[in-house]
Structure 1
């Protein structure tokens, strides 16, 4: 939904608004049209921002339509309720991760033994739940990702790449489970009809399960899923790439959502 200038893939004359700053500098943008329509979308639909970003990284974004009753960060590791992390969700998830996978410390140690600064610029741990590398994509050794994923899988983890980042994630941590939990809460409270359709958008391998679980889904014609040529019977693929794909996705949501009453 938001794009750095390097990811625009569009003419520089395009009208945009900045929705994220880092240390005072503009970082991420939407088209002005997408920003206006994002506000429109929140009227007929329960919009749940869902991201692999950490809580701190998510809180840098000023996405049109805020404030959000619910948001999902850390790839489903955290559910925010009115901006506050739901500790019961996180405690239960941490317990499942401990019971079903190798520890984060063990994974970190093994990963560090496999990397060097010839292709890795940063090693980060996200909300004490998973880790990721920031890499120089053209310098990543052939077979590195496949070999690292093969080590992770029997230990309850997986590895995937999204642009300059290689994520190492517990299998128990996924966006679709957190989305299902938020949907259950909204349904149980009567805020959402049990027959309401679930719509989802994403562009990376970590989004695939969430897209499969949706009644209808959309992905842009760029990113990791495009590179994998990933598809599904419920899936629409945008015509546009880059920041204009974000605008197309919001238009698709508006068209697919029920009319406001």
Structure 2
């Protein structure tokens, strides 16, 4: 039985592009994702070793907005994972296999209606790609500096009235149903892990993430941490019980993992 549940966002929290990681690391990195025969995502060697150690001491749950296919490209240190959350909470993987009963709970979302409306509003050279993720939500890949003034506000208002939310993270603009959230999926994993004896009923939860789609997961945790970069940093997102790293980039990941190890260590002492 482990002493804590730790849910960790991946992109720009645990793993980074070479540029986002930071030049200071030089060769002290390990590649954790290959895409189209080229290295895509990295961790510092120190962060990778810390994540492996954390996965021994706690139930670590990788929690990502990536699709199942995108998540499965990552060779994340600490694997194999008893539980992982993908698609922003729309899918729970149990020993690598998608749980059909959890996914079936989202069959009523009106994705096609959202896609039709979005196609009329998001039209122009500023839209580079349109994507649908696991038939749960959609996102645009855009030129951030060319997004029309007022688009995000107007689109967010239209979606909010219909139970959806909008979030921009770098070059991606996500349109997500409110019922698909990381916090709901983490709560489900916690309940299952208690039921199957991996965790005791009083277990505390810790979380880490950098984007607006991580906010609900951070708030729901007993303690949480975010890096000093990303969408939440730009929004000056803070609340009691949230730590913010001193560092940004790859050094933030190392700091996050040291903090998580300290929290878990404090909880597993007899």
- Give the TM interval when normalised to the shorter protein: over 0.9
Which runs of 5 or more structure 2 residues have no equivalent in the other structure?
1-13
2:179 paired with 1:166:
no
Equivalent residue runs for 1:41-190 within 5 Å: 41-95=54-108, 97=109, 103-190=110-197
**Counterpart-to-counterpart distance in 2, 1:17 and 1:44:** 22
Structure 1 unpaired stretches of 5+: 98-102
Is residue 15 from structure 1 mapped to residue 31 from structure 2 by the alignment? no
Structure with the bigger RCO (C-alpha within 8 Å, sep 6+) is: 2
Deviation at 1:139, TM superposition (A): 0.9
Matching of residue 204 in structure 1 with residue 217 in structure 2: no
Q: Secondary structure at the match of 2:105?
A: helix
Q: 1:234 aligns with which of 236, 241, 248?
A: 241
Alignment of 1:247 with 2:254, yes or no, is yes
Q: Shift of the alpha carbon at 1:247?
A: 1.2
Following TM superposition, the consecutive aligned residue runs of length 4 or more in structure 1 with deviations greater than 6 angstroms are none
Tell me, in whole angstroms, the C-alpha distance in 2 between the residues paired with 1:80 and 1:237. 29
**For the Cα contact (< 8 Å) 2:83–2:92, is it kept in 1?**
yes
CA separation of 1:227 and 1:210: change in aligned 2, threshold 3 A: same
TM (normalized to structure 2)? 0.91
Please report the RMSD computed on the Cα atoms of aligned residues, expressed in angstroms: 1.3
What's the offset of the Cα at 1:116?
Answer: 2.6
Tell me the alpha carbon deviations over residues 109-153 of structure 1, each in whole angstroms, 9 at most, x when there is no partner: 111111234211110000001000111111111221111100101
TM-score of the pair, normalised by structure 1: 0.95
Find the aligned partners of 2:136 and 2:55 in 1 and give their Cα distance.
Answer: 30
